Structure 1
């Protein structure tokens, strides 16, 4: 306990710096642990990733009445047998290709000479050709020249051979076995861990529940099961897609005539696990071989066309159908993860970068203490749609907010956008105003920006359907489905509701209330009920709107008021406009107990808290009663005054 208030204040101010330094230190320690413990951690990680892929096979065999241990053993043996077969196939094809490469050097020389002649002395082309020639000389085995007699008929020089001293038997065995034992040991660890993880899956899940949150078993179990199922589906879908990609590439190269198509197909399937650049890297080898084999350029062009067609189809057509439009990672997170894991674990880390980062993001979405991982690495917007809207208003950029709204309106109605996004931004602005975070100038600027958005959306044509961005798709998913409200035709309106503007919306005196009132008037007009809005400030200044034909007065408030003010406003409105209906809209109030109390104590006909409710209530009031014909004689309309209505506005 620190008694000195100055020291306590300084410690509070320095706490974010200490937190940042502690976080950086933690990241550094984790990086060191991952780098130093790669020989153990990498097999464990590979085993965990492999268990996600093999778990559905184990469950399938268990449904066929196979014991758990035997099912795990069968699945793991089959999987590792397939992996060993693929490895042997790659080794055999690579050895065959290496033996055949020297035969293609003559073709490469002819193409290099043709390129040099067509380049016309270009320095860049010359350098590239020299590099290709150096590579060809490195690949081609050296030729041994026959021994010739020295000039002048002298004696032949003595041939001297230098032999290194033979190492001892243990050293010789170590030098020969070391390159073989390390991969075998790693493979053995992966096999062992995979067996135990699959056999003890439920026990490991229970321990994870204990570590992450045993206080709420239902929520924690649901989160872990959801994370495991999502990751399993993702890895299975990715493995199936990459296997199909490699198969198609191998078949295509075989039809084209590129040597070793099996090798290139297998490498293409493996390298496609590397995000963004994996398919490009897998294309380099076949292109080089195609250029070396074919005296012309047709094989090279056909190989380019093959990759140019197969990869976009796999990445932009099949992949979204299998596991969504993306892996759930932001592009910068994918690049950063690939760089980091390659630095720590080499080529294996490059292949595991995306799966490992997906695991971290899934954990961040389900574990509250790891939420920062989803914010840092996920592709979902870091701010809610309402926060993004309000941030654009603070930045004085209504144009971007209008553009985002245009995207949302392709999938949702205007009333839904206003209810779920724009009004949410208004509430955030009201919170900052209540805390004193916004100056008067900022309040006016934010209010004017919101009104600009509302006016623009009111005149913008509606365009349903079409592609939307990831941020818009996330916003649409968050706000949920549309709330369907009826639309009234003129012949469906009751007598007294078919005037030029039967609804008058009175905005409260806050800097943001005029925008909310404009939203309500706008959506009512979209649903067939003409409305206009007026502010209490204009009424207080003596402006008198035409009240003839007004059938409904709606008092719009963002901040909840006292029930006495609302009751007084409704009473004065009824006194000045006989027969008028009164609606009270409290856009901020969400507490059910408070709403019930407002309904009991106020004299309003309708109390609403959302634009959807307001539209439904207004349409119900304006509808023609059953049995009334469209040509029924209208009732006589009173000619009201506006002094009382101005008084009704004053309590706001």
Structure 2
């Protein structure tokens, strides 16, 4: 009965049970009859009066944290298993790109921001990053990237080639891994590069691979600065190669970021993996049609 009432009113089953006991003790049978309506009134007050918001948390049946915060909180607590379970629950009902954009990318951005502010120590920061890496590999899409990397070394494949470069650090690499998984559909060759490779070596890699599209992955809090530095180096040597700059989890208008990075026609700035996926599709679609035509000949 408490569960049934709670489900219909938005009050947790425990709150219904505790309220019934309290109001019955206070007013007898009248209190028992009024317990649920009074509790719902307190819940509504807590929802709309900021100073009493704790009532909504205590009495409501909604999760205290949104999924992104819950994943991040579990990582901070060192509970990789529960964080992975939350991630797996989400990918059962939503597309992988949407889960990455709304769950893992924000959690990654929170970890980086807190670490740069000094609010997160190195141990927990490294644990969060490694856990996110394992969750990505275990998602099942990693096998596509491994197959897509076959034959990318020679730079002469008939299929379009895409390089995902980290702007600077490991978090950028992890976001690049997510993008590489999403792009590795078999129609193109995709490679995600490690953050341990220096900027100069990344540019040399572009020269060897001869990619059709270069994707630069950058996470907060210094995403624009790091992305601009690497983007300028790539454009300086390969001005005709399209560059997609991912400023992951960027908030608000991207016009200022586009101005700082540069307004070259071959440079495209996006804020989500879904936008990056669509932009890359538009860039390689003519190349894919051309390679299909050559194959038929």
More strand by share: 2
2:286 aligns with: 624
Cα 1:605–1:511, aligned 2, differ >3 Å: closer, same or farther? closer
Q: TM-score, normalised by structure 1?
A: 0.39
Verify the 8 A CA contact 1:497 1:549 in the aligned structure 2.
no
2:137, 2:28 → 1: CA distance? 56
Query: Displacement, 1:398?
Result: 2.4
Match of 2:2 among 275, 285, 289: 275
What pairs up with 1:497-508 in 2 under 5 angstroms? Answer: 499=159, 502-508=161-167
How well do the aligned residues superpose, as a CA RMSD in angstroms? Answer: 3.3
Q: CA deviation at 1:621?
A: 0.8
Whether 1:415 and 2:133 are equivalent positions in the alignment is: no
- From 309, 312, 327, the counterpart of 2:9: 327
**Partner secondary structure for residue 244 of structure 2:** strand
Please say if residues 337 and 353 of structure 1, whose CA atoms lie closer than 8 Å, have aligned partners that are also in contact: yes
Change (3 A) 1:428 1:625: closer
Which residue pairs with 2:18 in the alignment? 336
Q: 1:628 to 1:427 in 2, by over 3 A?
A: closer
Q: Are 2:285 and 1:558 aligned?
A: no
Measure, in 1, the Cα distance between the counterparts of 2:78 and 2:104: 15
Distance 1:566 1:428 in 2: 19
* Change in CA separation of 1:401 and 1:526 when aligned onto 2, cut-off 3 Å: farther
Alignment partners' CA distance in 1, 2:61 and 2:109: 26
2:185, 2:286 → 1: CA distance?
18
Matched with 2:197 is 538
Of 336, 352, 355 in structure 1, the residue corresponding to residue 37 of structure 2 is 355
The 1:556/1:460 distance shift into structure 2, 3 A limit, reads closer
User: Structure 2: where are the runs of 5+ without partners?
Assistant: 144-155
Contact 2:220 2:249 in 1 (8 A): yes
CA pair 426-565 structure 1, distance change in 2 beyond 3 A: closer
Q: Distance in 2 between matches of 1:520 and 1:367?
A: 42
Answer whether contact 2:248 2:271 (CA < 8 A) is retained.
yes
Residue 215 of structure 2: SS of its match in structure 1? Answer: strand
**Structure 1 residues 335, 600: closer, same or farther in 2, change over 3 A?**
same
| Alpha-carbon distance in 2 for matches of 1:427, 1:434 | 11
Establish whether residue 518 from structure 1 lines up as the match of residue 177 from structure 2. yes
- C-alpha separation between the residues in 1 aligned to 2:235 and 2:248? 22
Aligned residues: 279
Q: Partner of 2:2: helix, strand, or coil?
A: coil
Report if aligned partners of 2:2, 2:14 keep a CA contact under 8 Å in 1.
Answer: no
Alignment match, 2:242:
581
1:612 matched to 2:294? The reply is no
Instruction: Give how far 1:448 is off.
Output: 0.6
In 1, Cα distance between equivalents of 2:288 and 2:129: 43
- 1:366 CA drift (Å): 2.5
8 Å contact 1:560–1:586 — kept in the other structure? no
8 A contact 1:551–1:579 mirrored in 2: no
- Give 2:76's aligned residue: 394
Q: Distance in 1 between matches of 2:236 and 2:200?
A: 21
406 and 536 in structure 1: CA distance in 2 versus 1, 3 angstrom threshold: closer
One of 406, 409, 414 as aligned partner of 2:88? 406
Q: Deviations over 1:363-419 (max 9, x none)?
A: 222332322111111010111211101011112222222222222223211111111
SS at match of 1:512: helix
Cα gap change, 1:531 to 1:364, in 2 (>3 Å): farther
Shift of residue 359, structure 1, vs aligned partner = 2.0
* Cα-to-partner distance string for 1:565-594 (whole Å, 9 max, x where unaligned): 5444224324555742111111143231xx
Cα deviation, residue 358, structure 1: 1.8
Instruction: Measure how far apart 1:325 and its partner are.
Output: 4.8
Distance in 1, Cα, partners of 2:41 & 2:129: 43
Paired residue for 2:136, among 454, 457, 481? 454
CA contact (8 A) 2:170 2:195 kept: no
SS in 1 for 2:292: coil
Cα distance in 1 between the residues matched to 2:280 and 2:44: 44
CA distance in 1, matches of 2:189, 2:19: 55
C-alpha distance in structure 1 between counterparts of 2:217 and 2:54, whole Å:
38
Q: Which has the larger radius of gyration?
A: 1
Shift of 1:545: 5.5
